[in-house]
Amino acid sequence: MIFAVMAALLVTMVLTLLRAFMGPGLYNRILAINTFGTKTVLFVAVAGFLFGRPEFLDIGILYALVNFVATVAVLRLTHYRELLSEAEGGERG
């Protein structure tokens, strides 16, 4: 049963990567990468349970924190770039 869960997570991770590469917009791609990070945390937790290694949960929690901080940082960067491009466009027009 656990192997089926790991296989299902791998399939959803592949589909999420496809969405990230083929997404129609920037925010869809950011959401896909964030979802991939969440699936990775789940995969690490299930692998830790399967192999009897509870310390994998610590790795998963750390990866979840890094994923969250990176997503917030990328969203802020894109928000400020949009504000800068609007300000530059308004001054020229």
**Given pLDDT bands bounded at 50, 70 and 90, which one contains residue 82?**
confident
* pLDDT at residue 91 tops 80: no
Picking from 45, 46, 7, 15, the residue whose alpha carbon sits closest to that of residue 32 is 15
Mean predicted confidence (pLDDT) in 59-70 = 96
The number of folded domains in the chain is 1
**Given pLDDT bands bounded at 50, 70 and 90, which one contains residue 63?**
very high
Q: Which domain holds residue 69?
A: 2-92
Task: Determine the Cα–Cα distance for residues 47 and 80; give it in Å rounded to an integer.
Answer: 39
* Single-letter code of the amino acid located at 55: E
Each residue's pLDDT tens digit, 36-61 = 999 999 999 999 999 999 999 999 99
pLDDT of residue 61: 95
Task: Determine the Cα–Cα distance for residues 93 and 35; give it in Å rounded to an integer.
Answer: 39
CATH of the domain at 27: 1.10.287
